[in-house]
């Protein structure tokens, strides 16, 4: 499925192994690397939230505050790390990076937040679309998930 003309940006080519190559010469990250990086990041966030949960009480107000804090932590973690340096802990371990699809530069904190917001909306409201979003890079020409397309980002090997 081709992107519309307004979204194409520069010329994308293929590497010797068939991986998409960005207009600035970067090779897009393999899907399995994105998956493993996400698993590492979610495990890290899970450990942090479990440690906080053990230290706090279990009243209704505490539970609500903890939920809001965990949501804010998740947005800040993914929004900032994907947006500013371009790498979460998982992405750094797998040597992949989230960058602007057209320039190869950082997408910035705001676009990082929007990117995470798309993931959150699809995950919380619609489980099947979230599943498709995660699988989309497997057959997309530029290996982009829907949340990448919304903010014009791409995950590359670094």
Distance (Å, rounded) from C-alpha 90 to C-alpha 33? 9
What does pTM read for this prediction? 0.85
Quick one: which of 106, 45, 105, 44 has its CA closest to 81?
106
Domain ranges of the chain: 17-157
Torsion (CA) 105, 110, 113, 118 in degrees, nearest 10: -90
- Structure tokens given for 109: 């904190």
Structure confidence by residue, pLDDT tens digits, 31-89: 999 999 999 999 999 998 888 776 666 666 667 777 888 889 999 999 999 999 999 99
Residue 26, φ and ψ in degrees, nearest 5: -85, 145
């Amino acid at each position: 499925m081709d992107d519309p003309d307004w979204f194409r940006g520069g010329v994308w080519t293929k590497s010797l192994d068939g991986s998409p190559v960005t207009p600035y010469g970067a090779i897009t990250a393999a899907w399995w690397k994105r998956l493993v990086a996400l698993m590492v990041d979610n495990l890290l966030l899970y450990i942090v939230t479990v440690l906080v949960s053990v230290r706090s009480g279990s009243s209704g107000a505490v539970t609500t505050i903890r939920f809001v804090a965990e949501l804010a932590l998740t947005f800040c973690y993914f929004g900032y790390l994907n947006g500013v340096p371009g790498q979460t802990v998982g992405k750094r371990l797998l040597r992949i990076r989230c960058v602007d699809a057209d320039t190869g530069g950082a997408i910035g904190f705001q676009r990082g937040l929007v990117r995470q917001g798309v993931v959150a909306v699809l995950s919380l409201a619609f489980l099947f679309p979230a599943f498709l979003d995660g699988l989309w890079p497997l057959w997309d020409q530029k290996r982009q998930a829907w949340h990448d397309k919304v903010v014009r980002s791409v995950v590359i090997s670094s």
